């Protein structure tokens, strides 16, 4: 008789695991059932802001692989709108509720793949029955928001609470839709994933786009009328709004895991080993936004909810479930984003993280250009490097620029991954031609500057 794999969560991590397991084990060997509480499988949550803005027209474009494909091509029994509400590790079964029909089913498993993703951080003040308040984590969330934006009366004023990636991207999306947007950020600046000196450029760009940015302001409540949100209350006064978007970050979705006794780590994510096995729980695997992972620079566990990690981890879990061998090597905190035409990239540790991890370091900022200065379209590019003192080992890097900037962080990410020193980096043989770089690439300019700083 075939063994049975149950997958909880039908997005990137879960379905990558399921399809990889299937590639290695046929249906006679492994039966696969996947429960997904939403309407979609394997979609790009990162694409939601662009669908909200209208840059992407069709919601279906965000779906990489629909349930029908999973069923037909991979022989996976995908059950949409089924929410798993209980895991019994002793009896090896899960309980799921049909969110449309209302019925409850119990399904046994031999192997369990836990991939429930993350949930938006929702402060008490945000819990309301009133319409117009949205987290943006799932495609269903995005659909609800878009419906609200298109319904009568059409919202004209938006407040985005929180200036992380999602907050910043959603602010831009709402501006592009024609709304007047206020972004409220409790900290000193939006985009705290880079250091304040780099984030400043993001703030300027967003202001240039017309976003009203209020920093150092905390939201304390909502105002409502007739079942609709009418604004937010803050410690700096009320701000009217027809729609409120929460961009306060996400946390691992682990309620179910916790109840079942799966181990959670200090970040709140599920603890897994290198093969994506839940630590100490035989036959149970986890991957994606619900787990914590190793930061290769700090050596500490981190929670980094990002589609690219979810896909990699899911694939690795699936290879192992399928009888192969693969390990997840950890992350170094690489991330890129686009704010209007401004491109932002980071990798490794930012200053505060480096300090928290106990490193001594120097940091330098180098101004350069995307292309040879004389070549048309050459734009400013700022590269920041953080290097351990005295070793010179690269600990972190950030890039902000106006064109062809963000993905250059990959060059620095690979250098950092390989534990290069900034001195070694000055020797790197990087591509040079006037349409692409000055004769001293911005990365090399920054590395030289870091070497000088270390020598002082």
Binding part of the chain for a second copy, among 140-148, 179-187, 355-363, 367-375 by CB under 8 A, reads 367-375
Could you say whether residue 311 binds a second copy (CB under 8 A)? yes
Q: How far apart are the first and last CA of the chain?
A: 70
Our CB check for a second copy shows the closer of 155 and 288 to be 288
State which of residues 373, 389, 390, 452 lies at the interface with a second copy (CB under 8 A). 373
Our CB check for a second copy shows the closer of 51 and 134 to be 51
Q: How many other C-beta atoms can be found within 10 angstroms of the C-beta atom of residue 116?
A: 26
What is the C-alpha separation between 212 and 78, in angstroms, rounded? Answer: 44
Interaction residues for a second copy, span 54-83 (CB under 8 A)? 55-56, 61-62, 64
* Angle (CA) 203 402 181, round 5°: 35
> CA Rg, the chain, in Å?
23
State which of residues 441, 445, 446, 450 lies at the interface with a second copy (CB under 8 A). 441
**Residue 91: exposure state from Cβ atoms within 10 A (0-12, 13-18, ≥19):** exposed
DSSP states of 280-344: T-TTEEE-STTB-EEBTTT-SEE----HHHHHHHHHHHHHHHTT-------B---EEEEETTEEE
Contact status, residue 298 vs residue 260, Cβ threshold 8 Å: no
CA distances 428 to 269, 389, 392, 405, 418, Å, are: 38, 21, 15, 18, 13
From residue 326 to residue 365, the character string flagging contacts with a second copy as x (rule: CB under 8 A) and all else as - is --xx-xxxxxxxx----x-x-x------------------
Helix, strand or coil for residue 358? coil
What is the C-alpha separation between 408 and 336, in angstroms, rounded? Answer: 10
**Count, residues near a second copy per rule CB under 8 A:** 64
Helix, strand or coil for residue 207? helix
What is the C-alpha separation between 224 and 228, in angstroms, rounded? Answer: 5
User: What single-letter DSSP state applies at residue 161?
Assistant: E
From residue 10 to residue 29, the character string flagging contacts with a second copy as x (rule: CB under 8 A) and all else as - is --x-----------------
From residue 291 to residue 310, the character string flagging contacts with a second copy as x (rule: CB under 8 A) and all else as - is ---------------xxxx-
Could you say whether residue 252 binds a second copy (CB under 8 A)? no
- The minimum distance between CB 420 and a second copy, in angstroms, equals 7
From residue 385 to residue 424, the character string flagging contacts with a second copy as x (rule: CB under 8 A) and all else as - is -------------------x-xxxxxx-xxx-xx-x---x
Could you say whether residue 439 binds a second copy (CB under 8 A)? yes
- The minimum distance between CB 401 and a second copy, in angstroms, equals 12
- The minimum distance between CB 309 and a second copy, in angstroms, equals 8
* Angle (CA) 143 149 155, round 5°: 155
The set of residues, in sequence order, having a beta carbon less than 8 Å from that of 136 and lying 6+ positions away, is: 48, 49, 52, 120, 142, 145, 166, 170, 245, 246, 247
- The minimum distance between CB 310 and a second copy, in angstroms, equals 8
Interaction residues for a second copy, span 81-100 (CB under 8 A)? none
- The minimum distance between CB 250 and a second copy, in angstroms, equals 16
Which residues are catalytically annotated? 46
- The minimum distance between CB 151 and a second copy, in angstroms, equals 24
From residue 104 to residue 143, the character string flagging contacts with a second copy as x (rule: CB under 8 A) and all else as - is ----------------------------------------
Q: Beta strands 301-302 and 293-294: pairing type? A: antiparallel
Q: Beta strands 157-161 and 180-185: pairing type? A: parallel
- The minimum distance between CB 337 and a second copy, in angstroms, equals 5
User: Residues interacting with a second copy, by CB under 8 A?
Assistant: 12, 44, 46-47, 50, 55-56, 61-62, 64, 306-309, 311-312, 328-329, 331-338, 343, 345, 347, 372-376, 404, 406-411, 413-415, 417-418, 420, 424, 426-437, 439-441, 443
């Amino acid at each position: 008789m075939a063994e049975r794999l149950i997958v909880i969560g039908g997005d990137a991590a879960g379905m990558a695991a399921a399809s990889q397991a299937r590639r290695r084990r046929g249906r006679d060997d492994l039966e696969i059932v996947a429960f997904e509480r939403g309407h979609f499988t394997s979609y790009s949550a990162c694409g939601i802001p662009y669908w909200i803005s209208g840059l992407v027209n069709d919601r279906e474009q965000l779906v990489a692989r629909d349930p029908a494909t999973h069923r037909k091509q991979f022989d996976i029994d995908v059950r949409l709108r089924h929410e798993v509400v209980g895991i019994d590790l002793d009896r090896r079964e899960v309980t799921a509720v049909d969110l449309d029909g209302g019925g409850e089913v119990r399904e046994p498993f031999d192997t369990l793949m836990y991939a429930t993703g993350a949930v938006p951080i929702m402060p008490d003040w945000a819990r309301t029955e009133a319409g117009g308040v949205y987290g943006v984590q799932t495609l269903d969330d995005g659909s609800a928001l878009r419906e609200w934006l298109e319904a009568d009366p059409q919202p004209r004023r938006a407040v985005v609470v929180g200036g992380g990636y999602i907050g910043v991207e959603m602010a831009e999306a709402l501006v592009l839709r024609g709304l007047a947007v206020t972004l409220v950020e409790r900290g000193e600046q939006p985009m705290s994933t880079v250091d304040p000196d780099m984030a400043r450029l993001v703030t300027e760009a967003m202001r240039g786009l017309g976003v009203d940015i209020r920093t150092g302001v905390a939201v304390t409540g909502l105002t409502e009328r007739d079942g609709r949100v009418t604004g937010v209350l803050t410690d700096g006064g009320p701000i009217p709004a027809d729609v409120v978007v929460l961009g306060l970050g996400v946390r691992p979705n682990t309620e179910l895991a916790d109840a079942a006794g799966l181990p959670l780590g200090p970040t709140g994510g599920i603890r897994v080993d290198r093969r994506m096995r839940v630590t100490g729980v035989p036959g149970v695997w986890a991957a994606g936004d619900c787990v914590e992972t190793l930061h290769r620079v700090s050596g500490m566990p981190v929670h980094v909810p990002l589609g690219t990690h979810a896909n990699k981890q899911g694939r690795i879990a699936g290879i192992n479930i399928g009888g192969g061998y693969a390990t997840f090597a950890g992350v170094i905190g690489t991330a890129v984003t686009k704010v209007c035409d401004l491109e932002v990239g980071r990798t490794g540790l930012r200053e505060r993280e480096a300090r928290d991890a106990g490193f001594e370091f120097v940091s330098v900022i180098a101004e350069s250009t995307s292309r040879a200065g004389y070549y048309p379209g050459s734009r400013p590019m700022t590269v920041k490097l953080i290097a351990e003192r005295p070793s010179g080992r690269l600990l972190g890097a950030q890039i902000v620029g106006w064109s062809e900037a963000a993905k250059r962080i990959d060059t620095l990410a690979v250098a950092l991954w390989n534990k290069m020193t900034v001195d070694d980096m000055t020797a790197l043989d990087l591509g040079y031609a006037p349409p692409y770089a000055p004769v001293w690439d911005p990365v090399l300019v920054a590395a030289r500057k870091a070497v000088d700083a270390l020598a002082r």
